[in-house]
Amino acid sequence: MDLGLFLMPLHPPEKPTAQGFDEDLELICRADELGFREAWVGEHMTSRWETIAAPDLFLAKAFALTRNIRLGTGVYLPALHHPAELATRAAMLDQLSRGRFNLGMGTGSIPADRPFMGVDGSPDSMRERFVEGFEVILELFSANPPWRHEGKHWTVELTGAQVDLDMGFPIRPYTRPHPPIGIPGYSPNSGSMRMAGRRGYWALSTNLAANWILGTHWDAYRAGLAEGGHPIDPGGWRVAREVYVADTDEEAFAYAIDGPMGKNFRRFMMPLLVRNTPDGLGTFKDDPDMPDSAVTVEFLARNVWLVGSPETVTAKINRLRDTYGRFGVLLAMGHDWEDPDRAIHSLELLANEVRPNVG
C-alpha cells in the first residue's frame, strides 16, 4: 500500500489565507521527502474553510517545490468551466511537471460555487454539464484541426488553423494519451466508481463514507474493471481518511478529538453534510437506525478515522483492507495546523512506522 494526501484543504476562516497555503505547501513537501506517492488538492471557489480556489495555480508552485511526488486536482469541476480552458490548464500542468500530474474530475460539493459561476446548480444540469465537459476535455487532448464539438452546453472548435505555421493546435499533455484520471465517489454502490473502473481510471473513495460503504465501492470498481476488460487490480483504488498518529493512543485520540481535526468537523464538515446532502450524517453510520445525535466527533475518531499509536493505526488499516478491499493508496486528509510539530510527527510515524507494517 502506498501513501498519499488529500487536501480540501480545511483551515478555519479566521486563519490568514496565505498562511494556510504555506502550511499546505509545507505538508506536501514533507510528504515528498517521506516517499508519499501522491497528493490531491480540491477546488472550492466560495468556501472560507476550503481555500484553494484555483488548484492549478497552487499545484504549479507545489511542483516547483517537490521532486518525486505526483500531484493532482481533487477535483477539477468540469461543470463550472469551459472545457477548453480546463484541457489547456491540465495539459500545461502535465508538461510543467514532466508527467507528474494526476487529473481528478468531479461535480463538486459547495452549492454556492454554482451560482457564483453562473451555472444551473440542479443535479440533472450539473450531471449533464460534467459529462459533456469531461468528454470534450479528453477529446481535446488529442484533437487536430479541423475539429468541432457542438453540445447542449458548449461549442468548441478548432477552425481557421494555419497548419504551415503550426497554429490552431491545442497544447498536448506530457503523458499520452492523457494524465492518469481519478474519479471520486462517496455514496453506496457508487456509479462513479463503476464508471472509473470501466474506463480504466483510478477510483477515489472520499473521507465522507462509513467503512461499510468502502466495500460497495470496491464491488462497483471491480465490476467496472471487468466490464471494461481491465485487470482486476485494487491498486487503482484510493481511500481517503482522517489520519492522526501519535506515540500513544491516549495522545492521538485527545488531539484528534479536541484539536483541529475535531474542530473542523464540529464547526464545518458535519453541519455542511446535514444541511446540504440527502444522507446528512447517515454517510458515517454503520447502522441506519443509529440516531444523528450518536454521530459525534468522538464516534468518528474511534470508528471511522484512523487515529491512534502506530500499532493501533496499522491494525485499523489492515482490518479495513482485509474486510472491505485491499485499496492501493491511503490518502490522509489534510487539516489545519495548530501544532506544526504534531502534524509533521504524525506524517513521519505514518510513513516510517505504519506503512512498513501494512500487510
Locus of grid cell 469541476: 77
For 2-357, the fitting CATH number among 3.30.420.10, 2.30.130.10, 3.20.20.30, 3.20.20.60 is 3.20.20.30
The answer to whether the bond into 146 is cis (omega within 30° of 0) is yes
The model's pLDDT over 86-105, given as tens digits with 9 standing for 90+, comes to 999 999 999 999 999 999 99
The pLDDT value given to residue 286? 86
Residue 276 CA to residue 108 CA, distance in Å, equals 12
- Ordered by start, the domain boundaries in the chain are 2-357
The pLDDT value given to residue 67? 98
The model's pLDDT over 117-171, given as tens digits with 9 standing for 90+, comes to 999 999 999 999 999 999 999 999 999 999 999 999 999 999 989 999 999 999 9
Residue 105 CA to residue 32 CA, distance in Å, equals 23
Residues in the chain, total: 359
Half-sphere exposure of 14 (CA within 13 A, CB side): 5
Look at 88-92, 101-105, 109-113, 190-194 and tell me which has the smallest mean pLDDT. Answer: 109-113
Of 164, 168, 165, which Cα lies nearest the Cα of 146?
Answer: 168
The pLDDT value given to residue 209? 86
Percent with pLDDT over 70 in the chain: 100
Residue 273 CA to residue 265 CA, distance in Å, equals 10
Of 171, 168, 106, which Cα lies nearest the Cα of 140?
Answer: 171
Start-to-end CA distance of the chain, whole Å, equals 8
